[in-house]
Copies of this chain bind each other. A is one copy, B any other.
């Protein structure tokens, strides 16, 4: 089952972080159609946030057609997001991890890495 986390310092609203994490998990194949998300109350308790905040995230996912809440039962994945096959992804992931390790060895801190990644990603997109 997916494990959520919230980073309060990022400026991104917590409910959107949850949405992103589900989308990422779907894309990476960590969540599949039919899987059950943790209950609203569990997530709220674990992350020490308000149940309504979790509900808001689940609602947004429902609006996107990705999950479906079933009263009395829980919230379930309704539709997946196409991604690469698992082996291809693992390969890419390994490559990225190698690069990350190299950057760390070179003396870059995580802020610097984030900055570099952000600009390279942006330049690449445009």
Contacts and interface: CB of A to CB of B under 8 A. Distances in A.
Given A91-B106, A97-B120, A99-B99, 8 more contacts: A24-B119, A27-B111, A97-B124, A100-B121, A110-B124, A110-B125, A114-B121, A117-B121
Taken together, the copies of this chain in the complex come to 4
Given A111-B27, A116-B96, A106 B124 contact: no
A36 to B, nearest CB: 19
A115 B12 contact: no
15 contacts: A5-B122, A23-B115, A24-B115, A27-B111, A28-B119, A92-B99, A93-B116, A93-B120, A96-B99, A96-B117, A99-B99, A104-B124, A110-B121, A110-B125, A114-B121
